[in-house]
Structure formats: C-alpha cells, structure tokens
Amino acid sequence: MLPLDSHRWGELRHAYGGASDAPDMIRRLVQASSDEAWDELFGYLLHQGDTYTATYAAVPHLLQAAREQSAGKQVLYWSFVGGVAVHEAPTELAADIRTAYHQALEVGRESLRQLLESHRFPTIEAFYLLEAAAALHGRREIAWALGGLANEEIELECPSCAVGLSIGPDRTGLRYRVRGLDIAGAPSVPPTRIEVAPTHIAPTKSACSDYRWLFGLASSQGDARVLHGVRALFGKGPCPHCNAAIDINKAIDEPRTRGTRLER
Ligand SMILES: [Zn+2]
C-alpha cells in the first residue's frame, strides 16, 4: 500500500483537490477516532458517496487500522470501507494502488466475517456491519437494503404497478410490512405483511446462495431483529396497491441500475 509519507499522495485527489493532506487525516483518525476525524474523512474521501483516487489509497490503511481497534470501535471503519465498495466507480488509478485496494478488500472480507462471528453488536451496528459485508462482496443492492433496515425503512417500487413502496418493521421489529407511499387518493390503504423467508430454502432457488450466506452471518449475532430483517429481505409480500406478490429480493435488485465497478 502507498506509505503515508509518500509524496505521491499529492498527485492523488479528494473532494477538495490535491490529497497531500490525506495522510494526516488518516493519522488523526487512527490516533483519536473522534467524531471530527470521521467527519473529515467522510467529507474529503467519500463526499456524498463520491470516491476519489485518494479514497482507494486510503482503504488499505483504514482496514489495517480497524484490526487494531476494539470490536466496538471498528464499526465506522467498516462503514467507511463498505461505503467505498458500494460507490466504487471507474477511476484512473496507478496499478500498485489498485492492487493494494483490491487485496485489502479481500483480506477485509475475511476479517469482517471473523468480527461478526466473534462479537455481538447492537442491532443497528449489526445491520451496518452486514451492509459493509455485502458491499465488500460486491452485492450492492443487498448492501443498500441492509442500510435501509438499519434506518428502519427501504424504499422501492412495486415491480408490477410501479407505485412507491416502503418496507419497514412494526413496533416489535420482528414483523415486516409493505406500505404504499404514493397511492393516489388512498392514503389509508393498510400495509401488507411480508412473509419472511424460511430459515432453510431449497438450493435450487435463485438468490439462495446470497440468502444462506447472509443468514449465516446474521445468525452469528444472535439478534432476532437482525435475523428477521434479513429474512424479510428474501421474503414475499403483496403490493398494497395492486396486490401482486412481490419477491422482495428481486424488487430490490430490479429498479437499481448496477453501477460500473472499479476495474480490477
Ligand atoms: Zn403494485
């Protein structure tokens, strides 16, 4: 990875221009992990979801630093790296920086799995870590939906009638519902209930491997709300407007254009 004292940081870019100050941002973060240091890093290197050449050079440093933190302090590191992976875009990068970035993600996938299996996190943080895991595995749509679950709401379109829908848990956090967002003249249409995916699904079904992988990771948290959220993502529920059966996982996939990834 690009050493923090390399002059080449000055040739890289962040949201506000040349990135010669990026190494100091990384050093401040690793030393203090303060809110200010995180705000600075997100603002300069992942500004409103945009990535820059310095962003990719920073990722190996952040993943290395994450492993030296206590489990609870690692969450923001993984959120940042997951955010970079989700927003990856074609960027002209020197070969060594590109390789170091991809290698860091590869090692990171395993580190994050071990972290989730060895430590129990509060519900919201568990959703954020699962979001990062999906992002690191290149599953952008699932990552996006898991981020929605952390915020208790996923917005999507009915694949049949294109009405705006929102998916969220009820007060128990265990039953998920589909609400209509913009059903004209019918604000009182009641939400419909999602039948969550079973804990085991036949291996021939599509999306099965994603589900089993995510279900396994989520199970390690031993948190019923996290598990029900994941099962709802792969469940089915009728559209409150047209009553068509919605395969939640497919509805999450379909309206979101798959962005172009950073070349390997
Ligand atoms: Zn519909």
Q: Which residues pair with 14 in a beta bridge?
A: 17
Neighbours of 31 (CB within 10 A): 10
Averaged pLDDT, 84-90: 91
Which chain residues have CB less than 5 Å from ligand 1, an ion?
Answer: 158, 160-161, 239, 241-242
CA of 13 to the centre of ligand 1 (A): 44
Ligand 1 center from residue 239 Cα (angstroms): 5
Compute the distance between CA of residue 246 and CA of residue 159 in angstroms, rounded to an integer.
7
Q: Render 209-256 in DSSP notation, one character per residue.
A: HHHHHHHHHHHTTT-HHHHHHHHHHT-EEE-TTT--EEEHHHHHHTTS
Q: Looking at residue 58, what is its pLDDT?
A: 98
Of 30-44, 82-96, 178-192, which range is least confident? 178-192
d(CA 121, CA 127): 9
- Stretch 230-248: mean pLDDT: 94
- Tokens 């290698």: give the residue: 103
pLDDT at 259 over 70: no
Which pLDDT does position 255 carry in this prediction? 46
Residue 263 has pLDDT above 90, yes or no: no
Tell me if the pTM is above 0.75: yes
Ligand 1 centre distance from Cα of residue 211 (Å): 24
pLDDT in tens, 196-217: 998 876 655 656 788 889 999 9
Distance (angstroms) between ligand 1 centre and the Cα of 142 equals 21
| Spacing of C-alpha 229 from chain mean position | 14
Q: How far is the CA of 158 from the centre of ligand 1 (A)?
A: 5
Where are the domains positioned within the chain?
7-119, 151-253
Nearest to 163 by CA among 146, 186, 194, 143: 186
Distance 180 CA to ligand 1 centre (A): 9
Q: Is the model's pLDDT at 77 over the cut of 60?
A: yes
Q: What distance in Å separates the CA atoms of residue 264 and residue 251, rounded to the nearest whole number? A: 29
Q: What is the pLDDT of residues 212-234, one digit of tens each?
A: 899 999 999 999 999 999 999 99
Rounded distance between C-alpha atoms, residue 199 and residue 237, angstroms: 17
